[in-house]
Structure 1
């Protein structure tokens, strides 16, 4: 831990993520790493999220949670304060509530007066508000640089409120790195990315919020490193012309506590590296036909597996499992497979010696968890940045394999699931399996090197201190 001299003031950072735990969690992870390097943290969130964040955040004498009172918004039910609690339509209304927080935020910031506010994509109004108070802002992108590169830099000068066509989105922006293995987007990916350009409830689109936030901030912080994404970072730097700070991949600490006896007993009956763990996070949901083909594909591998499936909060998960799984599936796989809905100890399970493959949605935190726990990676991306994360690791880094799918509609069958798993669990002495295994080992050593990972944080603190001393 670093220490301050008598005349040095402790760096104070306000953290302000969007109200979705896919965004809140990376902000919490960064907060914990910064606070261990003598940085004071004030963590902003809607009051309804505070208790859950308290369980994640290391509460030191200089770390505090600032609970915000969300304004009433027509159509947004009371008590809905994160995307985990609601529907996509209500999630859009959370952005309306967030925009209405500006007077409350201004009052709090004028009292706290931190050195920086680290903000998220939705708070595009924050740089100008903070500037009035003499406070610098850092846009913290919790996504890999490749996702930012595909969406923003080459399209900065799009007219406001312009929605491009699917074919326009499929074409990579001007100047996109030639060294990239990505040459264009599929129709499926382009249709998904159209969301970024759409406006809801009269609010700015995600693209317009991103553009305003990137151009208005003092610096940009990205959850990545040059070793993994150097070509995309250079491209972003060239177009945005802002200081680009890096926090690294943010490797999570080992989980506390023990694996539940139920899972320990089940996993321990199988040989080392033989089990497939399949999970898609708490807010990524598969369609009915996808669930059926995935389940049948796992059965087809012949490997033992744990399949974790979740459903939107307004649905009965038990009933949905019964409805969507193939008829007789549970009985057929009872000796080798478990299908579970709800939360599981994912890090503990991935760390178990019997788990050898992690089939996931390619969320970047999940990718890191899989690699550090020595699991081979199979990707089935379903939305947003997951598509680009999958391409980064499977094509650029060649450290995982993506499930083969139709370019037009993303269809995959049970054979596609089985073939992808076999490349990293069975065909390990053949290409491309051999290369993937070797590269996964290389990145595991990189991510588990405590000296390298710690240096990302100490370098970041030094850079923030330097920017803090510059005139606005």
Structure 2
């Protein structure tokens, strides 16, 4: 098996560069992962160059410097605003794409710092299946950053005028004297830029708010993984099938592979691959998401009654530990084996009559499969749903203290002398 390859991207400034360099060296030395670090430098700081040289000297990472991008900033733009704009600029994205194309091995994962979230949109274009944001700060800071889109909606006026500390889920409240500089003036462009960099959280809030309005176990979640793109014809048939099923749906839609001219994951370009009028006809009954979605939180939601999945094993586990039955739609790798295991051996899924990789699955079959796991009167669906619930309960017992998985992990740790 090829050695995993992690791509790390650092924003300008030692405060962002050094943590990424340290993370890269740890991934390389501890986990034996091949690491490439793309350092977007300011172009005028010899200290950055020295830090890169020092990290290379004591580690095993490959480090490449990318030149800074000239951006026309407003006269009063702060340093964080300038960095965010620079990392989101088309020239920076192109430089990262070109650097990846020149690599001998394709990255398995991309990790950006908190100022580099604007680069996450190119993950599909460079063939990366998973992206992460590295925040080398304390949990309180991260909680405030993640919760800021909520505060932006519910708090009136300036945060500095609030008399009582604001409550932050999972952490201590934050008072006016503890606010980050970016939150001191909500009319400042710096505040808006930081709000944009928390975009995935805002999207997640919107998705979960939509799910909150749906009846219990009434929504089928459709997601074919980060690499799960379909042909334009298959995308059309899947859309028609969801409409024909009469069931509520939440669809994480990737750009169709044969949709010419679509070079990014922009909402308009992705939804252009849907049947004419589809979004209007299904408004209220369906929600189409064209970028990132919080899969674990979605599958944990009470309104989810089924999952049309590519059967990647992580998705399978996330679904079954929540008791959600599956429409198996395997696309590549071991997913065909997984689909057979789920349908024939475990009994928690229904599957297409033929592999989707061999022919286009028609709209009638899509509708039938969705109704099987969603409609209570379907006899086969009743068995599948019951088995999925049985597996959920079994998984909880296995990981409870004293359960089979808990004991196995503990025994392994004892053999490795990790515990006494």
Q: TM-score, normalised by structure 2?
A: 0.52
Pairing 1:421–2:370 present: yes
Task: Name the CA shift for 1:50/1:88 in 2 (closer, same or farther; >3 Å).
Answer: closer
Distance (Å, rounded) in 1 between the aligned partners of 2:253 and 2:356: 24
Choose between structure 1 and 2 for higher RCO, CA contacts under 8 A separated by at least 6 residues: 1
Task: Name the CA shift for 1:369/1:79 in 2 (closer, same or farther; >3 Å).
Answer: same
Distance (Å, rounded) in 2 between the aligned partners of 1:346 and 1:359: 12
- Say which of 91, 102, 109 aligns to 1:77: 102
Aligned length: 253
Task: Name the CA shift for 1:351/1:89 in 2 (closer, same or farther; >3 Å).
Answer: closer
Is the contact between residue 46 and residue 81 of structure 1 (CA under 8 Å) also seen in structure 2? no
Q: Write out aligned runs for 1:189-338 (5 A).
A: 260-311=204-255, 314-338=263-287
Distance (Å, rounded) in 2 between the aligned partners of 1:434 and 1:322: 34
Distance (Å, rounded) in 2 between the aligned partners of 1:407 and 1:283: 15
- Say which of 404, 412, 416 aligns to 1:460: 412
Instruction: Extract unaligned runs of 5+ from structure 1.
Output: 1-15, 22-40, 52-65, 93-256, 467-472
Q: Write out aligned runs for 1:30-69 (5 A).
A: 42-48=30-36, 68-69=60-61
Question: How much has 1:67 moved relative to structure 2?
Answer: 6.8
Is the contact between residue 279 and residue 359 of structure 1 (CA under 8 Å) also seen in structure 2? yes
Bigger Rg, structure 1 or 2: 2
Distance (Å, rounded) in 2 between the aligned partners of 1:20 and 1:428: 48
Aligned equivalent of 1:366: 315
Q: Write out aligned runs for 1:338-357 (5 A).
A: 338-357=287-306
Aligned-partner SS, 2:323? coil
Instruction: Extract unaligned runs of 5+ from structure 2.
Output: 8-28, 40-57, 65-97, 111-121, 129-200
Task: Name the CA shift for 1:371/1:317 in 2 (closer, same or farther; >3 Å).
Answer: same
Aligned-partner SS, 1:291? helix
Task: Name the CA shift for 1:75/1:81 in 2 (closer, same or farther; >3 Å).
Answer: closer
Aligned equivalent of 1:442: 390
Question: How much has 1:47 moved relative to structure 2?
Answer: 3.5
Question: How much has 1:322 moved relative to structure 2?
Answer: 3.2
Aligned-partner SS, 1:306? strand
Distance (Å, rounded) in 1 between the aligned partners of 2:105 and 2:392: 39
Q: TM-score, normalised by structure 1?
A: 0.47
Question: How much has 1:378 moved relative to structure 2?
Answer: 1.0
Is the contact between residue 48 and residue 79 of structure 1 (CA under 8 Å) also seen in structure 2? no
Task: Name the CA shift for 1:345/1:274 in 2 (closer, same or farther; >3 Å).
Answer: same
Q: Write out aligned runs for 1:126-141 (5 A).
A: none
Distance (Å, rounded) in 1 between the aligned partners of 2:293 and 2:357: 33
Task: Name the CA shift for 1:407/1:84 in 2 (closer, same or farther; >3 Å).
Answer: closer
Quote the RMSD (CA, aligned, Å). 3.9
Distance (Å, rounded) in 2 between the aligned partners of 1:264 and 1:74: 36
Distance (Å, rounded) in 1 between the aligned partners of 2:59 and 2:30: 10
